[in-house]
Chain A
């Protein structure tokens, strides 16, 4: 039977676009980074998961348990991811779809901390719009799917100690020193009860790692235990590092 309806229906068949497998599978590969070799998982949207290289099976199992998607080996990383992992400039796209709004807000705030600087967990909570969720911020960052690309190592305890890191406190310390953070000075200030530095020439109070704070000459530098104390003394919080008012 020469039936044109049937041939028209057969003509509706539309082969899958070449992009379809990339929408289903997540690519993974290993790459050098500031943490040594890492395994990296990348979807069509961006980098989704970064973990220290070790057993490929363990990485795959951890990935699948968390994201529930199939993996396939990737030949090469998308442009920009390699340099970002090695600490060069650049912010490759991230795939944070699997996270909650709060988790995304926490990571977005953390990503705004400049290299060589630190902020306390409470600062991240406030920047993420949930000032009381300090403990929850710690939980989110301990599970950061994309360490280095979202620099959770720059989030420290309010008492000045570096605090925990998903790959151990020693690596956190090393990453921060490598970025030129003034950890020893911050620790010495903290021992004297100082957590904020103000300049009497600018009238501004900052976190001690803020670029502006580090430029204050000793003669004009004043330490404070709290921002409130600095404000009471007539200083205004820095608009760059945004210490809590």
Chain B
């Protein structure tokens, strides 16, 4: 099924029965929602909270939509817009609270459906990359996550960011450039930096 057919099927399912249709939305787009939530949150434990909260917000919004609005809905970019807003709200709220004591973030077990890329990515590389992503300014950060973590087409990245396609493209490329710099710059803490994910010193 093409992405367009999937979207169309989801819209019709939502129009037929909101709750059953929404279950289908979560089944189809739950992974991409969670992946974006994971890439936009500092701690793994917060990603599921953010994903669940975003999905509930989406459901609550849908309850207020009339049939015409549901029929015109671009489901995936709409959902990811909600995730992005929820992540920014959560970050803003967190910055207003005093910092929590440093928590030990347990190393996540390897995902059962991990692809070669995931297997290759060691936990500390992952942490390093997540930290570098967090250091990117918005909207570059969201643009890179949407384009390269979950592989959205540039046009859909633009929909989520609410900008023109060309603008989205430049957010992605500037974001990538900044990421490479962050990952190759010597870190304040010394020798912990590596270039294995920078792309400039492929082994």
Mark A residues whose CB is within 8 Å of B.
Answer: 2-17, 19-21, 23-25, 60, 64, 68-72
Contact = CB atoms under 8 A, between A and B. Distances in A.
B56 A13 contact: no
Nearest to A17: B48
Nearest 6 A/B pairs, CB to CB: A16-B34, A23-B52, A11-B121, A9-B148, A5-B199, A11-B117
Contacts of B125: 8
A8 B39 CA distance: 12
A59 to B, nearest CB: 12
A10 B117 contact: yes
A19 B120 CA distance: 26
B196 interface: yes
Contacts of A5: 176, 179-180, 183, 197-199
Interface string B128-166: 011001000000000011001111000000000000000
5 contacts: A5-B176, A10-B117, A11-B126, A13-B31, A69-B56
Contact of A21 (B26, B39, B117, B145): B26
A54 B108 CA distance: 46
A20 B151 contact: no
Contacts of A69: 56, 59
A2 B202 contact: yes
B111 interface: yes
A213 B111 CA distance: 62
B150 A13 contact: yes
A15 B109 CA distance: 12
B87 interface: no
Contacts of B30: 16, 20-21
Contacts of A68: 59-60, 63
B38 A6 contact: no
A44 B155 CA distance: 37
Contacts of A24: 26, 52, 55-56, 59
A13 B35 contact: yes
A64 B34 contact: no
